[in-house]
Amino acid sequence: MSGAPIPIRTVFGARRVRGTGSQALLFTLECALGVLSVVLLGAFAHWLQWLLPIAVLLFLLIVVPTALLCGFWQAVIVSLSAVLVQSFFTAHQASFNPAADPANSITLLAFVFTALVVSRLSARVTEHAREAESWGGQMHDLYEFTRRTLQMNLHDEPGAQLAELVHEIFALEAVVVFDSDLHQTYQAGFWDSDPKELAQNIYYFETSDDDAETGIGRRVVRLGTVPIGSLVVRGDTSPLTNNAIASLIAITFDRYRAFANESRIETERRTEQLRATVLDSLAHAYKTPLTAIRAASTGLGEMGRLSPAQAELVSLIDEQTGLLSELTTRLLTTARLDAGEVTVHAVPVGVGPLIDEVVASLRDRLASMKVSIELPDDNLVLSCDRQLMTMLLAQYLDNACKYSIFGATITVRAERAKNEVIFSVHSFGPVIPMADRERIFDRYYRSTNSSNRSAGTGIGLSVAKRVAMVHGGYVWVTSGEDEGTTFYAAIPAPIRKKESR
């Protein structure tokens, strides 16, 4: 249909085609044939001296087919010519036959009016049938478009595919689709000028309309009430069809994004699984040489015949081996936590002694800091895995030590809140941006704030998060310039009812 003239339906129901001298020539030819038929029929009836009712019936045989085959206006012209022809012959007959009644022309006019009404009704029925046929064709096109969109390859961006499908299936002159999520414009067919700005303006100003003069339909592509793009078509389509096309494009955009998110999540899951497997293998491989190195350094230290410089080197080897062993243990624990292979051995643990034990284990790291322990309930007991909870608190304290202002106070607090025990470690240091407060607990993630950069592997906080999760708890962080930074861990601790004696 590309390049074909676009039908315009007039208020009288006739079909007029916009355009050119060939259409005007066709209209003139149809009228001329009708008028010629009326003249010949009127002359024939006058020659045979038929009565007026017979002539009217013969004129109806010309007017009604003209209305059905050509159109309303052609039937009007043919009817008026019938009135004029019959009036001419009636007047001519009266000059020779005084008995001829000139008033018969009024009767003729009434019959012709009846013919026009009949032709109008016929034209309307024909037009309705044409519209029904056209709508049936558009419904078939919409079905085909729906079927093709469901078969689309969602590994690629859908915009270009959708533009080509709309152009091909609905036989339009030109199509442009704008995807606001990707900020890309896709077009098919011929445009006199670049339609990119037009499509974007429709999206930004949310304008939807149909221009009968240019044949251009504009639609905002919405997912529910949210604009996600726009559609511009040029060709012979109805407003309802344009609405349906825009809705199907919105559904396809939504399917593409859902598929992309699902693929991304699956890729991340496989990557994380592979990384956990590699870390587990490496950690196991490192354990044996680390044990041998530490045993050798301990043996050298116990020999007692080392110079001060040698003793210092042996001490350094032993210290760094201990740090490397601790890191390896973290990697192993993280891999097992990710794989769900860690079994929580929950036992009653005194919260106060647990915090004291963690602080004592980090005595060297905390030497330049002040540590304050706040424990409103000295007899607070938590049912948990002691080893895992020690790792969680040690990581929180180690993280506070890395980023705190030198000489500042680190506050460790534990208290019961309803059915939970909430641990918190507070310190003053660089503010954690709001965008980082969720992702900071992801493995290997480092804050985007350059002032937060410090030596580390980026796995400690992820271990803390997973430890809390295997206990059925959760973690979060707050940070501000005035109030400082506080890391929290909430661990479920149901209140046990006292047994009645």
Percentage with pLDDT > 70 across the chain: 75
pLDDT value for 8: 35
Whether residue 422 is predicted with pLDDT greater than 90 in this model: the reply is yes
Q: E strands, 83-189, where? A: 174-179, 184-189
| CA distances for 313 relative to 47, 299, 308, 353, angstroms | 137, 13, 9, 34
Strands ordered across the beta sheet of 209-211: 184-189, 174-179, 226-234, 216-223, 209-211
Q: What are phi and psi of 248, to 5 degrees?
A: -65, -35
- Per the model's pLDDT, the better-predicted residue between 46 and 256 turns out to be 256
Residue 237 pLDDT: 83
Please report how many Cα atoms fall inside a 13 Å half-sphere around the Cα of residue 443, on the Cβ side. Answer: 18
Question: Is pLDDT of 350 > 90?
Answer: yes
* Contact between 15 and 9 (Cβ < 8 Å): yes
What would the pLDDT profile of 430-488 be if each residue is shown by its tens digit? 888 887 887 888 766 666 554 444 555 556 788 888 889 889 999 999 998 888 999 99
Distances (CA, A) of 166 to 159, 170, 186, 213, 238: 11, 6, 12, 21, 14
Domain ranges in the chain are 7-140, 156-342, 347-492
Domain 156-342, CATH number (from 3.40.50, 3.30.450, 3.30.70, 1.20.1050): 3.30.450
CATH superfamily label, 347-492: Histidine kinase-like ATPase, C-terminal domain (3.30.565.10)
Across 377-388, average pLDDT: 90
> Is pLDDT of 354 > 90?
yes
pTM above 0.75, yes or no: no
Structure confidence by residue, pLDDT tens digits, 76-128 = 787 777 777 777 776 665 544 444 455 555 656 665 676 667 667 776 777 77
The pLDDT of residue 372 is above 90: yes
Higher per-residue pLDDT: 136 or 384: 384
Contacts of 293 (CB under 8 A, 6+ apart): 317, 321
pLDDT confidence of 412, banded at 50, 70, 90? very high
Cα 30 from Cα 84, distance rounded (Å) = 18
d(CA 463, CA 265): 21
For residue range 30-54, list pLDDT tens digits in order: 888 888 888 887 788 777 766 666 7
Q: What is the residue type of 345? A: H
pLDDT at 381 (0 to 100)? 92
Question: What are the strands, taking DSSP E only, across 125-259?
Answer: 174-179, 184-189, 209-211, 216-223, 226-234
Asked if pLDDT for residue 489 goes beyond 90, the answer is yes
Q: Can you give the pLDDT at residue 356?
A: 92
Sign of CA dihedral 163, 164, 169, 175: positive
